[in-house]
Amino acid sequence: MEVARKRSALLVVDVQNDFCEGGALAVPGADSIIRPINAMMGKFDRVILSQDWHPVGHVSFASSWSGRSPYESVEAEGIPQVLWPDHCVQGGEGAAFRTGLDSDRATLILRKGFRSGLDSYSCFFENDRTTATGLDGWLRSVGVSELFIAGLATDFCVLYSSLDALRLGYSVRVVEDAVRGVDQPPGGAARALAAMRREGASFTLSEALN
């Protein structure tokens, strides 16, 4: 598949230490996607890396809620919220990009989830679904209309970013060998892939790009 460099971008979602082996919220197999992501970067003029960037005491942390445990669900100001172990705390080692990821190739680094009372799965909108991250405006300003999406996790930030991109009118291609899921609850990753396909995303493999 020929990448249309002038109108395409690679969006790499949250490949950070806390989501990889040994991290606070490790995604199974996460380290295996670094090689294909690095190999793809040179095929794009524009590479966006997103980064979860939570303050201490963030609303998504189970430790911020008395008597609650990770993976429980609550409502925060009327917004459904899954609770997680503390992760990707601003400036901490867990929030850093994974060692081995060629982050120097980034055209743009997008930080999200930095508001203490509002989580952000999508790279386009916070979880209130109205607060924009600014990514859409940036992409349009440089003429991007097609996104190739890779990263973590398939069933959360990759899913929501892909669905929002589709709703905003972008052509979306999910790089299937360069995403991995939390799979909490079990089967979530497969359901996420099906939802993206149903809404109009197409799928490719990293080695198919040229």
Cα–Cα distance for residue pair 18/16, rounded to 1 Å:
6
Helix (H/G/I), strand (E/B), else coil: 80: strand
Q: Is 185 exposed, middle or buried (0-12, 13-18, 19+ CB in 10 A)?
A: exposed
Active site annotation includes 123:
no
Catalytic annotation, pick one of 20, 88, 123, 157: 157
Active site annotation includes 119:
no
Query: Which residues are within 8 A (CB) of 55 and not within 5 positions of it... i.e. 6 or more apart?
Result: 89, 90, 114, 116
What does residue 202 show for φ and ψ, rounded to 5 degrees?
-110, 170
Active site annotation includes 88:
no
Catalytic annotation, pick one of 112, 123, 136, 155: 112
Catalytic annotation, pick one of 14, 86, 119, 136: 14
User: Which residue in 101, 95, 2 sits closest to 51, CA to CA?
Assistant: 95
Cα–Cα distance for residue pair 87/104, rounded to 1 Å:
23
Residues labelled catalytic = 14, 112, 157
